[in-house]
Chains A and B, each alone.
Chain A
Amino acid sequence: AQKITQTQPGMFVQEKEAVTLDCTYDTSDQSYGLFWYKQPSSGEMIFLIYQGSYDEQNATEGRYSLNFQKARKSANLVISASQLGDSAMYFCAMREGPFGNEKLTFGTGTRLTIIP
């Protein structure tokens, strides 16, 4: 079974609108972490936001927020007031287990295109 599922292969959003990128995960661990990365066409992998399984509040970083719904096992990324520079591939990733196992498992990504 897929550990990380991103069901939106591609999205087109008008500039200045908010956008939600979906991510669901599957784990039996109590301790885990969820990450979102942005990969522009240039190829680098840019860290956006992190949510720990024990964090009580949703993570926020500037225009990025993570809508963490633990019971539903979802960790959607919300980008407010989208900009042309937000056009990129977005990956959701998970770290499972307690200290000592920090490797990341990635979803297949969502290609976001911001339309002027």
Chain B
Amino acid sequence: AAGVIQSPRHLIKEKRETATLKCYPIPRHDTVYWYQQGPGQDPQFLISFYEKMQSDKGSIPDRFSAQQFSDYHSELNMSSLELGDSALYFCASSLKGARGRLYEQYFGPGTRLTVT
């Protein structure tokens, strides 16, 4: 079965640079979520999109922005990178508004961002 695709898998950037992370949800899934997992921590919700509109926002820095495109893929743009932005960034997708098993959120493999 198709899964969530994230690219790149690994990214190394220097402080103050910018980074763009991409996410391709499971086909027919209409909701995308972004999470940030720092070293040794649990994932923290950043932002979500439903049908290309922002649906919820968590602890996302102002330096970060995201959007969902017409083909449902999403991009997380990160500017003025700081050392503390080094983390594993997950994208997850689900089918909004469905009951039962379709509430499940499936995560991509993550993008490991290292800021030096």
Verify if A104 is at the interface (C-beta below 8 Å from B): yes
Q: In the complex, which residues 75-116 of chain A have their Cβ closer than 8 Å to any Cβ of chain B?
A: 91, 95, 99-109
Please tell me if the beta carbons of A35 and B43 are within 8 angstroms of each other in the complex.
no
Inter-chain residue pair count (beta carbon < 8 A): 64
Q: In the complex, which residues 84-116 of chain B have their Cβ closer than 8 Å to any Cβ of chain A?
A: 88, 90, 92, 94, 96-97, 99-101, 103-110, 112
- Which residues of the other chain, A, contact B48 by a CB distance below 8 angstroms? 102-103
Q: In the complex, which residues 41-72 of chain B have their Cβ closer than 8 Å to any Cβ of chain A?
A: 41-45, 48, 55-56, 58
In the complex, per-residue mask of A44-55: 1 if CB is within 8 Å of any chain B CB, else 0 = 111100101000
Please tell me if the beta carbons of A47 and B110 are within 8 angstroms of each other in the complex.
no
- Which residues of the other chain, B, contact A47 by a CB distance below 8 angstroms? 104-107
Q: How far, in whole Å, are A106 and B48 apart by their CA atoms in the complex?
A: 16
Q: How far, in whole Å, are A67 and B94 apart by their CA atoms in the complex?
A: 24
Please tell me if the beta carbons of A107 and B103 are within 8 angstroms of each other in the complex.
no
How many residues of A sit at the interface, in one of the four size bands?
20 to 34
Interface size on B, residues (CB 8 A): 30
Known: A43-B88, A45-B90. A105 touches B107 (CB 8 A): no
Q: How far, in whole Å, are A99 and B56 apart by their CA atoms in the complex?
A: 12
Verify if B24 is at the interface (C-beta below 8 Å from A): no
On A, residues with C-beta under 8 Å from B are 33, 35, 37, 43-47, 50, 52, 91, 95, 99-109
> Would you list the 4 A-B pairs with minimal beta carbon distance, nearest first?
A45-B107, A106-B42, A103-B45, A44-B109
